[in-house]
Structure 1
Amino acid sequence: MRQANLFMMSAAMLLAACGGTKDAGKTDQVLIEKSDIKIEGKRMTPEALWAMGRIGGLAVSPDGKKIAYTVAYYSVPENKSNREVFVMNADGSDNRQITRTPYQENEVTWIKGGTKLVFLSNDNGSSQLYEMNPDGSGRKQLTNYDGDIEGYSISPDGKKLLFISQVKTKESTADKHPDLPKATGIIITDLMYKHWDEWVTTAPHPFVADFDGNGISNIVDILEGEPYESPMKPWGGIEQLAWNATSDKVAYTCRKKTGLEYAISTNSDIYVYDLNTKKTDNITEENKGYDTNPQYSPDGKYIAWQSMERDGYEADLNRLFIMNLETGEKRFVSKAFESNVDAFIWGNDAKTIYFTGVWHGETQIYSLDLTNDSVKAITSGMYDYEGVALFGDKLIAKRHSMSMGDEIYAVALDGSATQLTQENKHIYDQLEMGKVEGRWMKTTDGKDMLTWVIYPPQFDPNKKYPTLLFCEGGPQSPVSQFWSYRWNFQIMAANDYIIVAPNRRGLPGFGVEWNEQISGDYGGQCMKDYFTAIDEMAKESYVDKDRLGCVGASFGGFSVYWLAGHHDKRFKAFIAHDGIFNMEMQYLETEEKWFANWDMGGAYWEKQNPVAQRTFANSPHLFVDKWDTPILCIHGEKDFRILANQAMAAFDAAVMRGVPAELLIYPDENHWVLKPQNGVLWQRTFFEWLDKWLKSNKQ
């Protein structure tokens, strides 16, 4: 259930925005441009959040003099978005928007020595490859493939195209009953019939084609006739496939399992497909956990990938491995970093790898010296970096914090960073942000826990403020310096709330032991950590301990439901989004059974399994008799990770208990809230509920 890296999530959100069908691209196209919003009162609002441009992928020209990148713009009235392409000089000057269309231009790449840009767009209804000049002129469609191209990579020699497209893997009802073409029933015979937010009828496959710069030919499905996924759903993209240096081999990530076998296992592997012999080799067969995201070294001598050791444990330490292609020797090279390698790139010398990873609530850029496997932090500060690329003798990356969304930075190897874009300066200039600080707190078992505290703008320590405990999801997703367009701490602070966001047990960035402690202990130490954070802050004179709220999503929603039955009247209001209410039902309802087996400790019918029995004995629904505090339950009906009936059951239980409750259901949203008007509704409902119970009796 742990969130995948941000690249994968961004790709999934982008695909949803593209529509994913040929008809979707043709209907109701509206040009959405950069917002000129005017904000009163210098406080963050939902409308201000949705007015912000969102920077996507970036690409550096071969000569290192230009940077191309994309920005998505959203319209609340239209309830839509579109994405545009920008090009700027390497120092950030002469920044120009080179597309202005109602379509979804994305995944920009330089080709032909930097004289052309290629990109994906849905001009004619399906996602296809296009070409244009670096000034936006000369736009030309290069492919007309019968299906959406969801990602692509051009071979190093420029002569071949690797791309991703969906193939049908299951017999449909209409296939079986051709006389019932309008029947909507789905016949299911095995597990993994649903995943994230879709009924599974197709799988993404990698295709290779000849590419002459004007189109593609001789298309080959690397997984032809096989029912497997590459890249892996729900978030995998082109980062899970890679060309070798000589353009004659493709490495790809694949879990060659289906049905029940797929549902209980994380055992994916790195396969290498030879374009000449058509043979495939598994180079990670001995490892039983996730193996993902291969990358060949620039000199062609090595391949690197990310690897988790244990099958079924999706939050295992994400390690970096390399293999010598001549000798076959494999090496775990990131041992010196006791946290996850989130994403990586090779240095030009093939002796260095740069990667991002979270440590102590910040995601920094690190260098790994392959001569001795030593790790050195390049960046520092209260930021998160992502999307790192080589940039001459520097790096380029996106950076965000709890006080600012993504902007592009040039990062020197001494760690100094230069901001290159100012995408949302016109909005930030109208806002006053609250102060963010980190506090280390002593937990009940004597450990040190980092807790982020976010204060309202114009904070006055002589006043008393309502205060919110934020419960993170995952359960192994870090409370780093993330910027969210839904769980945005600055909009909470702008509404005069103090936010307390602890890096409780189970979060990465504090060592393996801290991260792994939560598995099989959902109602245990992690809950004590929550109490430590809010109780410690409640000692402050400016925290009104009579106006405390508790909010969270996913595992954070589980936490809210659990705390509602154990908080000893600490809190006056709860909000749970997409949370687990009944653990027994969650075990059966969730699609990725490996997660339930590992984190819950097993099935609830395993009466002799003490870990599983402890987990299910801590199911929030068993403590409803102790609920006494107003609660808002939010859920999306397309959420197949945690089904919406969990929120409905929690709401029904509260009402039947006489506890004030409200239910916000989205028929068309998944585990996230992606549509603009739904996002604004979420924020309005969120604050209406909190204000009603935490402010109405004390102003």
Structure 2
Amino acid sequence: MRNVYVLIVTALILNACANPKSMNDIQKSYVPETPKLTSDVMTPEVLWSFGRLGNASLSPDGKTVLYAVTYFNIEENKGYRELYSVPADGGEAVQLTNTASNESEPMWRPDGEKIGYISSASGSSQLWEMNPDGSNPEQITDIEGGINGFKYAPNSKEIAYVKQVKLDENIHDMFPDLPKANARLESDLMYRHWDNWHDYTYNHIFIAKLGAERITGGKDLLEGEKFDAPDRPFDGTEQLAWSADSKKLVYSSKKLSGKAYAESTNTDLYEYDIETGKTRNLTEAHKGYDKNPSFSPDGKYLAWTSMARDGYESDQTRLFVMNLETGEEKNYSANWEQNAEHLSWSRDAQAIFFISDIHATDEIYRVSIADGHIQRLTDGVHNYQTVEEAANGKLVATKVSMSQPAELYLVDMATGTDEPLTAVNKGLMDQLEMGKVESRWVKTVDNKEMLVWVIYPPHFDPNKKYPAILYCQGGPQGTVSQFWSYRWNFQMMAANDYIIVAPNRRGLPGFGMEWLEQISKDYGGLNIQDYLSAIDDVAKEPYVDENRLGAVGASYGGFSVNYLAGHNESKRFKAFISHCGIFNFDQMYVTTEEMWFENWDIGGPYWDKSNAAAQRSYTFSPHLFAGKWNTPILVITGEKDFRIPFTQGMGAFNAAVLQDIPAEFLHFPEESHWVTTAQNGILWQRVFKNWLDKWLK
């Protein structure tokens, strides 16, 4: 479940945006004025008023940054996305679009003369282009059913686009005389994934020539193949890369089906030769994820990220580079234990910039192609999310922290210092008092050092006693770094007058592979003790009321809460909140979809009595300890959550009520593993606060 959150946020924002159906709608937009706040303390409504910056990219000459901002209209319960640009040397931002069409996937044409983007202004999602100043928008494609994404060839003469192709029969194809029948007939796995049932279509890549006429079709690179490229549900056109000479296209795909797909993470890179029409597998020897292909500007190299082991989605993300002339591969992570993500070539093709998690912050690194030397460029209490080199020799990067949503920054490579390029949310930030964020190193039960974030309420008074909340991270290998979330927002939780304790327990990246991998097949072991070490350490402080402690979490964090609820004999915790948490391991194994995850982290099926590791894992199932529950619990689920089916939450809630334990069940019929719409998001925050206040204040 790790490494998907940036993609998830992008996909969910687009999902939440409305598609206009008439030209009248195109004239409408929603870019609100900065509201005048009546308090300097965060509220759910303020949290959902922030503009959400994304899709940053530099112009081909490296002088201008293109980006998107999404604003949510709470009353309408939908989002509006507009496109902007700002000089890479700094200056005033320019709004390029002003429509209700929710422009997405903005991209510079390689010749720099146009900006391409996806718009639904015509009634379906199509490629449009406009001048760099936002003038003269023009529809470029008219593909039946619309497209999901696109990528320009470097010569600006062709495009690759992605659209869905129906290749499977549905129930009406099989039984045409039953047009009103509403059913599915399945014979293999992966009939649903994360939050969508399979719709009998597959993502396919098409290539078409750009010209004076609108594009109505193209060459299907996977014609007749029942595989997705890019893979669903989170991969996009970042998984497509054109060669520098525009003669080849490399894409990532997992060419497996059904049960085989459900049990494997073996995604490969495929090279399609436009002249011959032939496709070859470039990474057949690699058994895990191979993704994010990127050609060097000089056309000599192909870089990508790779995991070594099949079935292990949280394996080390390694940086590989292939010499295209010799075919030789080099693993630049061979003597390095960190992950390398969000790759970006230097303008001279002599180095690659990337992002890596180190001690619960995400920093910018540079690796030399010549000698493989890896250099850390930044160091601070923040998360960088994207990085590109500008023409001025500095880096344009997206940065967030627990105390600030995403903005663009200009980073000096020599000093690691940065300066803001955008100020999307300055008006709101200037009116808010954020709580102090500090790190502390806590001793674990086996005498190791664990980094723990502590977030204090705004206007913290050390002479008062505050209730404290233990935050249990999901993933389970999801980092507790300096992320900014619109649900699990630490400043929002602290603004409710709580001290938040967020430990980087066993199973998280940024502290070496041994620390990361210990959690697999030990869900109820050392990482649970890490949680307790963290909250007990902070609870000793004079400003923490040790009699008013709670624990909250989602996904693996929800499992953690359910497990802690069955091991709370001392009443250390007085309240629990479990969002989409695993309750019954047996049922989870046979109702989830990504079997590679269960097989790796749990060890295998519950019926394999010869598998000692798996049998031990099932002894950690929270439902086995439900009879020991003694503490009020709020359970939250989304009905479209197929990773951890919502019936897991039902089981937890019902178990509490049947034992006369105070409980509430917050169920979202239209949400999935996350909460993505404005009013549901605000409701989530209100119920979250009310529950904790009821039992801890």
Q: Give the alignment's TM-score, normalised by structure 2.
A: 0.97
Please give the secondary structure, in 2, of the residue aligned with 1:299.
Answer: coil
Percent identity, aligned pairs only, is 53
Please give the secondary structure, in 2, of the residue aligned with 1:114.
Answer: coil
1:209 aligns with 2:211: no
Q: Which amino acid aligns with 1:226?
A: E
Correspondence for 1:642:
644
Correspondence for 1:395:
395
In 1: Cα distance, 2:266 partner to 2:59 partner: 37
Correspondence for 2:540:
539
1:200 aligns with 2:202: no
In 1: Cα distance, 2:558 partner to 2:621 partner: 12
1:621 aligns with 2:623: yes
Question: Quick check: 1:634–1:665 contact (8 Å CA) kept in 2?
Answer: yes
Question: Quick check: 1:439–1:453 contact (8 Å CA) kept in 2?
Answer: yes
In 2: Cα distance, 1:213 partner to 1:442 partner: 67
Deviation at 1:511, TM superposition (A): 0.4
The answer to which of 637-646 and 340-349 deviates more is 340-349
In 1: Cα distance, 2:166 partner to 2:578 partner: 37
In 2: Cα distance, 1:136 partner to 1:349 partner: 30
Residues 132-143 of structure 1 mapped to structure 2, 5 A cutoff:
132-143=130-141
The answer to which of 594-603 and 215-224 deviates more is 215-224
Question: Quick check: 1:26–1:125 contact (8 Å CA) kept in 2?
Answer: no
Q: Which amino acid aligns with 1:212?
A: G
In 1: Cα distance, 2:240 partner to 2:534 partner: 42
Correspondence for 2:300:
301
Please give the secondary structure, in 2, of the residue aligned with 1:356.
Answer: strand
In 1: Cα distance, 2:608 partner to 2:467 partner: 44
Quick one: structure 1 residues 390 and 488, their matched pair in 2 at CA, closer, same or farther if it must change by over 3 Å?
Answer: same
Deviation at 1:585, TM superposition (A): 0.6
Deviation at 1:211, TM superposition (A): 1.2
Q: Which amino acid aligns with 1:32?
A: Y
The answer to which of 215-224 and 365-374 deviates more is 215-224
Correspondence for 2:660:
658
Correspondence for 1:594:
596
In 2: Cα distance, 1:483 partner to 1:67 partner: 22
Q: Deviations over 1:159-205 (max 9, x none)?
A: 11011111123211111111222322111110000011111122211
Correspondence for 2:220:
221
Residues 89-100 of structure 1 mapped to structure 2, 5 A cutoff:
89-100=87-98
Q: Which amino acid aligns with 2:40?
A: K
Q: Deviations over 1:632-673 (max 9, x none)?
A: 000000001000001111100000011000000000001010
In 2: Cα distance, 1:25 partner to 1:438 partner: 52
Q: Deviations over 1:491-524 (max 9, x none)?
A: 1111110000000000011000110000000000
Deviation at 1:329, TM superposition (A): 1.1
Please give the secondary structure, in 1, of the residue aligned with 2:218.
Answer: strand
In 2: Cα distance, 1:497 partner to 1:629 partner: 19
In 1: Cα distance, 2:649 partner to 2:26 partner: 34
In 1: Cα distance, 2:473 partner to 2:555 partner: 8
Question: Quick check: 1:548–1:694 contact (8 Å CA) kept in 2?
Answer: yes
Question: Quick check: 1:26–1:124 contact (8 Å CA) kept in 2?
Answer: no
Correspondence for 1:557:
558
Q: Deviations over 1:433-463 (max 9, x none)?
A: 0000011111011111000000001111111
Correspondence for 1:147:
145
Which of the numbers 622, 629, 632 marks the counterpart of 1:630? Answer: 632
Residues 250-329 of structure 1 mapped to structure 2, 5 A cutoff:
250-329=249-328
Deviation at 1:385, TM superposition (A): 0.5
The answer to which of 656-665 and 101-110 deviates more is 101-110
Correspondence for 2:447:
446
In 2: Cα distance, 1:176 partner to 1:286 partner: 39
In 2: Cα distance, 1:613 partner to 1:31 partner: 56
In 2: Cα distance, 1:514 partner to 1:133 partner: 50
Correspondence for 2:413:
413
Please give the secondary structure, in 2, of the residue aligned with 1:547.
Answer: strand
Correspondence for 2:100:
102
In 2: Cα distance, 1:245 partner to 1:31 partner: 38
Please give the secondary structure, in 1, of the residue aligned with 2:500.
Answer: strand
In 1: Cα distance, 2:423 partner to 2:364 partner: 21
In 1: Cα distance, 2:175 partner to 2:566 partner: 50
Correspondence for 2:428:
427
In 2: Cα distance, 1:35 partner to 1:448 partner: 46
Quick one: structure 1 residues 593 and 112, their matched pair in 2 at CA, closer, same or farther if it must change by over 3 Å?
Answer: closer
Q: Deviations over 1:27-65 (max 9, x none)?
A: 999632224322222100110011111001122223333
Question: Quick check: 1:336–1:373 contact (8 Å CA) kept in 2?
Answer: no
Give aligned pairs, total.
693
Correspondence for 1:474:
475
Correspondence for 1:55:
53
Question: Quick check: 1:25–1:103 contact (8 Å CA) kept in 2?
Answer: no
Question: Quick check: 2:28–2:98 contact (8 Å CA) kept in 1?
Answer: no
In 2: Cα distance, 1:199 partner to 1:489 partner: 33
The answer to which of 233-242 and 344-353 deviates more is 344-353
The answer to which of 465-474 and 161-170 deviates more is 161-170
Quick one: structure 1 residues 548 and 91, their matched pair in 2 at CA, closer, same or farther if it must change by over 3 Å?
Answer: same
Q: Which amino acid aligns with 2:265?
A: T
In 1: Cα distance, 2:104 partner to 2:691 partner: 38
The answer to which of 296-305 and 616-625 deviates more is 296-305
Question: Quick check: 1:456–1:496 contact (8 Å CA) kept in 2?
Answer: yes
Please give the secondary structure, in 2, of the residue aligned with 1:51.
Answer: coil
Which of the numbers 579, 582, 586 marks the counterpart of 1:580? Answer: 582
In 2: Cα distance, 1:482 partner to 1:197 partner: 23
Question: Quick check: 1:161–1:216 contact (8 Å CA) kept in 2?
Answer: no
Q: Give the alignment's TM-score, normalised by structure 1.
A: 0.97
Q: Deviations over 1:384-441 (max 9, x none)?
A: 0112122111211110000000000111212121101110111111110000001111
Q: Which amino acid aligns with 2:460?
A: F
Can you give the 5+ residue segments of structure 2 that lack an aligned partner in the other structure? Answer: none
In 2: Cα distance, 1:24 partner to 1:665 partner: 35
Please give the secondary structure, in 1, of the residue aligned with 2:528.
Answer: helix
Correspondence for 1:355:
354
Q: Deviations over 1:100-122 (max 9, x none)?
A: 11111122222374332211111
In 2: Cα distance, 1:460 partner to 1:14 partner: 37
Which of the numbers 136, 159, 162 marks the counterpart of 1:161? Answer: 159
In 2: Cα distance, 1:62 partner to 1:296 partner: 15
In 2: Cα distance, 1:5 partner to 1:372 partner: 32
Question: Quick check: 1:452–1:501 contact (8 Å CA) kept in 2?
Answer: yes
In 1: Cα distance, 2:22 partner to 2:487 partner: 26
1:684 aligns with 2:686: yes
Deviation at 1:24, TM superposition (A): 11
Quick one: structure 1 residues 345 and 100, their matched pair in 2 at CA, closer, same or farther if it must change by over 3 Å?
Answer: same
Please give the secondary structure, in 2, of the residue aligned with 1:458.
Answer: coil
Question: Quick check: 1:365–1:377 contact (8 Å CA) kept in 2?
Answer: yes
Quick one: structure 1 residues 3 and 631, their matched pair in 2 at CA, closer, same or farther if it must change by over 3 Å?
Answer: farther
Deviation at 1:135, TM superposition (A): 2.5
In 2: Cα distance, 1:383 partner to 1:645 partner: 37
In 2: Cα distance, 1:682 partner to 1:445 partner: 37
Correspondence for 2:460:
459
Quick one: structure 1 residues 146 and 675, their matched pair in 2 at CA, closer, same or farther if it must change by over 3 Å?
Answer: same
Can you give the 5+ residue segments of structure 1 that lack an aligned partner in the other structure? Answer: none
Q: Deviations over 1:197-250 (max 9, x none)?
A: 111122211111111266336601111100001111111011111000110100
Correspondence for 1:670:
672
- Alpha-carbon RMSD across the aligned residues, in angstroms, is 1.7
In 2: Cα distance, 1:625 partner to 1:112 partner: 63
The answer to which of 133-142 and 227-236 deviates more is 133-142
In 1: Cα distance, 2:413 partner to 2:287 partner: 36
Q: Which amino acid aligns with 1:263?
A: A
Deviation at 1:23, TM superposition (A): 6.9
Deviation at 1:26, TM superposition (A): 10
Please give the secondary structure, in 2, of the residue aligned with 1:31.
Answer: coil
In 2: Cα distance, 1:442 partner to 1:387 partner: 33
Please give the secondary structure, in 2, of the residue aligned with 1:528.
Answer: helix
Please give the secondary structure, in 1, of the residue aligned with 2:423.
Answer: coil
1:500 aligns with 2:506: no
